[in-house]
Amino acid sequence: MINYLCQIYGYVNYIGEDGYTHFHAACQYNDDELHAVEMFLKLRRMDPNNCLLPKTGDSPLHLALMERPHQLAPLKLLLYGADPNVANARGLTPLHCICNSGPVDEWFLVLFFEIAARLSNRPVKVDVADDSGRTPLHLALANGDMSTTAFLLRHGANPNRANEAGETALHAVCKYPRQLIIMTSDYSEFDSTQALFEHSHERYWPLRVDARDNEGRTPLQWAVANHTPDALQVLLDHGADLAGFVYPAANHCDDEEDCERMIDVKSRQLLGALLCAERLAERGYELTRGDALQIMRLFARHGFFEGADVDLRSSLLENEAFASRARKLTVNKDVLLHDVIQLRRAEEVNKRVTYEDMFDFVNNDVSRFEFDKVGAEEACPLYLCEIMSRRFFQSWALEPFWKMIRYRLPLEMCEIILGNLKNEDLYKICLADQVQEDSKKDATASVTKCDSNKRPRESEDQEAPKKAKIYYEEH
């Protein structure tokens, strides 16, 4: 093919109007045989550093890495003196291109770095930032490529360097987990966050665990906003500060249409939000009613109230194929999925299954596959989220409901009544109370601020109820 082109044009490196040449094409699309690239480098003595594309500033090495990053053409270009640190018009170096291409084989990175350092005498610079302030480490993390991340850290990448949005490596892991879960089926926020700490520790780079980005958020706040309890756990274990912690608003999915179609992503978020709240409470953070309402709004936004009128439990038990599968799937070591579906009351479920149990269960690829096979891909996650969150909704609706009925019934009776209401009704009770409180504050500045952490007394003989909180019984 190359010889044929030579005959047609009479000049092997024909240049188009945009500056694109045969040499650029050979580097961008060549296969492992390297016949075309070698012809230009050997016979035509092409200089790989002296033919940048005028518009983009891309070198032949950029082109080779963008299209086929794991092929041998980039390594051949390095052997002939290609600059591994040249930046294009957007400030992207060849290493940026490698890290932005998805998971990279370590053998390729090892050869790329060794050839650059030993043969071309140009060691690869690992901390160069592009025009957006992104280093190769930022791009590797954004693609969920922890192998490349570890390689970069071992070669001196600074995990505390921030991009123009103020995001460090920890921000990158905690801020974009949803996209990574969608792109990479085996992505784990625990593994990624823990690995970042471990590899940074090996290189004596203490991570700035409480660093704030340009939005004023810490990695811990992003972990909570994205409902990633495992990342939250790692951050707390490594000293993330809870003293000045402010519960963040939930992070919306960048592609709402895709998220709307993915019931497994939504159920993971909802159970993750409950587990985050539980783990924060275990570390001493007191959730406010405003925090609880944020979690409830997540259920509303994802449409988990819309199926409340359907008897999901009965429909699942009547599905013989599902029931058969459910008897083989374990939620934890002592409880089968079928057991969970059979239990009628949320209190009974919460005594046998923790938020962590259910979060891990819905994250399991096997369980999702089983749901799909028996036509329960939506009904089962919907019901599991409903039954697991019921106690949370009830506990936070208790005080507003008692206040709404002017304390005319004992709390025990109120709990029985709330036990028969749907989550949507409980959410509306909490929401109405919040609206009423906000109206009072707006009406007059002289009204004493209502202490949401304190319940009024029912009578002189009855002790005032304690602040509504999540029920975390011993399981």
Per-position pLDDT tens, the chain of length 475: 555 554 444 345 567 667 788 788 888 876 655 777 777 877 667 788 888 898 999 999 999 898 666 678 889 889 888 999 999 999 999 999 999 988 889 999 999 999 999 876 789 999 999 999 999 999 998 888 888 999 999 999 999 999 999 999 999 888 876 444 433 444 456 667 888 888 887 777 889 999 999 999 999 999 999 999 999 999 999 999 999 899 998 875 544 444 555 787 889 899 999 999 999 999 999 999 999 999 999 999 988 887 655 688 888 888 888 888 889 899 999 999 999 999 878 889 989 999 999 999 988 766 666 676 667 778 888 899 999 999 999 999 999 999 999 999 999 999 999 999 999 999 999 999 999 888 877 765 554 554 555 555 544 444 444 444 444 444 3
Q: Please tell me the predicted confidence (pLDDT) of residue 385.
A: 92
Q: What is the pLDDT of residue 254?
A: 45
CA neighbor of 280 nearest in space, from 34, 458, 472: 472
* DSSP per-residue string spanning 346-383: HHHHHHH--HHHHHHHHT-HHHHHHHHHTT-TTHHHHH
Residues 6+ positions from 439 with CB-CB distance below 8 Å: none
Q: How many residues does the chain have?
A: 475
Q: How does DSSP assign 169-233, residue by residue?
A: HHHHHHHSHHHHHHH-TT--HHHHHHHHHHHHHHTT----TT---TTS--HHHHHHHTT-HHHHH
Same fold, 1-125 and 144-151+158-251: yes
**Domain 1-125: which CATH number of 1.25.40.10, 1.25.40.20, 3.40.50.300, 3.30.530.20:** 1.25.40.20
Given a contact cutoff of 8 angstroms between Cβ atoms, the answer to whether 64 and 24 are in contact is no
Q: How confident is the model at residue 278, as a pLDDT?
A: 97
Residues 414-437 as b/e (b if ≥16 CB within 10 A, e otherwise) read: bbeebeebebbebbbbbbebbeeb
pLDDT at 187: 46
Taking alpha carbons only, the member of 244, 155, 159 closest to residue 195 is 159
Q: How many other C-beta atoms lie within 10 A of the C-beta of residue 97?
A: 22
What is the spatial distance between Cα 137 and Cα 400, in angstroms, rounded to a whole number?
48
The predicted model scores a pTM of 0.81
Dihedral angle computed from the Cα positions of residues 216, 219, 221 and 225, in that order, rounded to the nearest 10 degrees: 110
The correct CATH number of 144-151+158-251 out of 1.25.40.20, 1.20.210.10, 3.40.50.360, 3.20.10.10 is: 1.25.40.20
- The closest alpha carbon to 363, from 183, 194, 474, 228, belongs to 228
Eight-class DSSP state of 21? B
> Where on the phi/psi map is residue 472: left (φ > 0), alpha (ψ -120 to 50), or beta?
beta
- Running DSSP on this structure, what letter comes out for residue 330? E
The 10 Å Cβ neighbour count of residue 320 is 9
